[in-house]
Amino acid sequence: MKDIYILQIETATPVCSVALSKNGKTIVFQDADIPNQHASQLTIFISEVLNIAEIALEDLAAVAVSMGPGSYTGLRIGVSTAKGMCYGLDLPLIAINTLDAMVAGFIEDNDPADGNVLVPMIDARRMEVYMATYTAKGKLLQGTSAEIIEADFFQQDAEVAKYVLFGSGADKFVPLFKDDSTVEVIPAFANTAANLSHLAFEKYQQSAWEDLVYFEPFYLKDFIATTPKKR
């Protein structure tokens, strides 16, 4: 059986990340948690990852991209780069919901307890986040939405042992839930392209590919341009 190499791109959050997987397992990745560096770092990381793995562009079976929700600019950069590679190399494009990938990575690293509800969060602005909820095994409970989080947002359910919050949007809620035993915030969760490996390989095996002409990132909300206030 021919090995399946998939190049994976994650730019939905402040982390710019590229990974290479072989048959669904990450073999090398590069990350940089530096805001506003996606445009300058992404192509460099792609070259570095391929060089480290000693894999040529012609050896790739597909390109996978984190499709959002997330940063409007980051998603534009990641998706346009992925589509450009797929056009140039005649490769299929695989798109993975960013929150799905975060959950897959969290489960792999933490083995959450049964009864917990996993809540990946991507920072929007102020107290708003993009989020979804999943079982401890990764089954989707409630789909992606934009929510404003307040102290009483997570109503206790007898079937839920604990709500576990993680991701770039969760860190700001540590003070809000510090005295709530039903909500646990996992700080500094690292979003990375390595989280896409298993999901991307599954989609490749199912030939669940995107239409290069029509595919767009999942922004969830329209982009709103702002201008600095005059002093």
32-45 pLDDT, tens digit per residue, is 887 777 888 999 99
How many whole angstroms separate alpha carbon 110 and alpha carbon 144? Answer: 22
Alpha-carbon Rg of the chain, whole angstroms?
A: 18
In SS3 terms, 100-150 reads as HHHHHHHHHHHCCCCCEEEEEEEECCCCEEEEEEEECCCCEEEEEEEEECC
Strands (E), the chain: 5-10, 15-22, 25-33, 60-66, 93-96, 116-123, 128-135, 140-148, 162-166, 183-186
How many whole angstroms separate alpha carbon 98 and alpha carbon 166? Answer: 13
The pLDDT of residue 143 is 95
Cβ contacts of 195 within 8 Å, gap of 6 or more: 10, 101, 102, 104, 105, 108
- Decide if 131 contacts 144 (C-beta within 8 A): yes
* Bridge partners, 18 (sequence order): 9, 30
- Whether 231 shows a pLDDT value over 50: the answer reads no
123-145 pLDDT, tens digit per residue, is 998 889 999 999 999 999 999 99
Nearest to 73 by CA among 97, 30, 37: 37
Report field, pTM of the whole predicted structure over 0.85: yes
Q: What is the mean pLDDT of residues 44-54?
A: 97
How many whole angstroms separate alpha carbon 45 and alpha carbon 30? Answer: 6
The pLDDT of residue 222 is 57
- Decide if 7 contacts 20 (C-beta within 8 A): yes
Q: Can you say whether the dihedral through the CA atoms of 107, 45, 43, 205 is positive or negative?
A: negative
Average pLDDT, the chain: 92
How many whole angstroms separate alpha carbon 18 and alpha carbon 170? Answer: 23
Residue 173 has which token pair?
A: 């809620």
User: Could you tell me the CA-to-CA distances from 216 to 118, 176, 180 in Å, in that order?
Assistant: 27, 35, 39
The two beta strands, 25-33 and 15-22, are antiparallel
